[in-house]
Structure 1
């Protein structure tokens, strides 16, 4: 994890920030546009994969037409071959919030990547305090001699949550996670969770939810629509460019199609696995948000869109 060089970004500040979260396919995009119109807001993507160029359909990236003129930030800022960490995201988003606020607008973070959003609005510090340079050098030598696999398997055992987030070939992050455990006796996950959860913004955290059966149906329908819109062609273009073993390709919607392109599964199997992985991801998202963040939830099951919009506008007016 990198250290933030701009100390002013982690000082207590008074900018108003709206956070709109929820599981995949629950309807965040449409609602965010209408809220932004009403609240004079600009939108910051809170999705760890929408930062990548050329990855539009599989990440359900908002289109220019759907934006309806609302400025969006942190979309298409990295090549698919580049790595991007939660610490990078924290710095970039806090800088963007300050810029939006300086222009007299309200910043709205919209997305479903829990840890990334949490790192921005709470006083999280990504520092090198838990460090052991000798251990790090020895681990680098070991990886150079034996490859990354043994070290990554070790991380999977001691900190499965971090191993789930970190790509096996992201050597720097694997080493950092192991170094934290070696130095503190705690996993990176514990290290982050034990930090003080102090909000550094005047924030309203809005969560959208719906009955599980309806949500899963929407997820399945979304996957079918992605396939109709050209998901296979999008992924195949990346595959044909020789893009392999990158953080970006671990995204749901890409790793499953890669398995198909490599002949490991049939197309129908890949699509069904994609649906299953998307449903499981939605469940993990809801668990994270409910356990880690102070969210005000709005159930949108069978509710008219206008009613939800009015309820949330009233909530925001009272909160901010």
Structure 2
């Protein structure tokens, strides 16, 4: 029998966190975060990290596992997530993968292959190493961005060895590294029940705006100041929405009001991209959060999951 996995996807601010906790409590489950930024310690407000109160005693994994200075990739997420799913199933717990980072979710569901293909061009590699030494990591990273922008979504600019390897793969094979690394299994190794949450666009945007206002009131600027005072800058973590905008304000590049408005705008655009991505890439059953009370929708989703689990057990 395949291991079971419940997946909850959807745009930011739609209600995934609350649903994950509700269903985990209903089905003896535990939650694995599928968010690429909640892995970072000390970055709580800007990532809308689930609080202890919101968890209601439900264990959550892959949260606060990295320092802000460290990089994190979809390959590492996959490497950490798969054993968790296996362990929870062994313990008779139902794993809930909850998050809005679509590539991370799909990398687990379809077991993307992140193995670097065996290529070798020593002279070209030495050229790149010399270029990085002379011109810096960012200039080398720009080379990769020019030929394979998708690869830069999963490779950090300071991971010079991996940047060089990706450029080498493209140089030798003519095929972008990103296309070689994301081969997927059409059939998931899991019995997946995927739930998608959606909402009327205007209502979702209003919720996002209100969430940003609440973040500011809750101390987002102070949180970013603390990171800045630690010397954390130009790291993968603080390029995230919610941090780069406030850094611009603290660096004197814009006013506080302009930073907040940009943050709202970037968050709305991100939600739109999430919805488009999941609609095209995710085989989910969708539930509209717009018109009914949350308790009614959650109850309907619970019945849906219960029915699916019953079918899988036959």
TM range (shorter): over 0.9
Please give the secondary structure, in 2, of the residue aligned with 1:205: strand
The equivalent of 1:54 in structure 2 is 42
Q: What TM-score do you get using the length of structure 1 for normalisation?
A: 0.91
Q: Distance in 2 between the 1:195 and 1:122 partners?
A: 5
Give the structure 2 partner of residue 6 of structure 1: none
Task: State whether structure 2 residue 28 is matched by structure 1 residue 40.
Answer: yes
- Match among 197, 201, 217 for residue 186 of structure 2: 197
Offset at 1:65?
A: 0.8
1:9 is matched with none
How far residue 167 of structure 1 moved from its aligned partner, in angstroms, is: 4.2
| Partner Cα separation in structure 1 for residue 272 and residue 164 of structure 2 | 29
1:28-77 superposed Cα distances (whole Å, 9 cap, x missing partner)? 11111111111111000000110110000000000001100000001101
- Report matched runs for 1:136-215 at 5 Å: 136-164=125-153, 166-215=155-204
Deviation at 1:152, TM superposition (A): 2.3
Correspondence 1:81-160 to 2 at 5 A: 81-132=69-120, 134=122, 135-160=124-149
Spell out the pairing of 1:213-292 with structure 2 (5 A cutoff). Answer: 213-292=202-281
Gaps of 5+ in 2: 310-314
Instruction: State the TM-score, normalizing by the size of structure 2.
Output: 0.92
SS state of the match for residue 216, structure 1?
Answer: helix
Does the residue aligned with 2:150 lie in a helix, a strand or coil? helix
Q: Give the CA deviation at 1:192.
A: 4.4
Alpha carbons 1:148, 1:171 under 8 Å: kept:
yes
Q: How many residues align?
A: 308
Contact 1:46 1:110 (C-alpha < 8 Å) held by counterparts: yes
In the other structure, the counterpart of 1:71 is 59
Alpha-carbon contact 2:71-2:156 (below 8 Å) kept: no
1:126 alignment partner, SS class: coil
Structure 2 partner of 1:28: 16
Q: Distance in 2 between matches of 1:180 and 1:315?
A: 45
Match of 2:302 among 299, 305, 313: 313
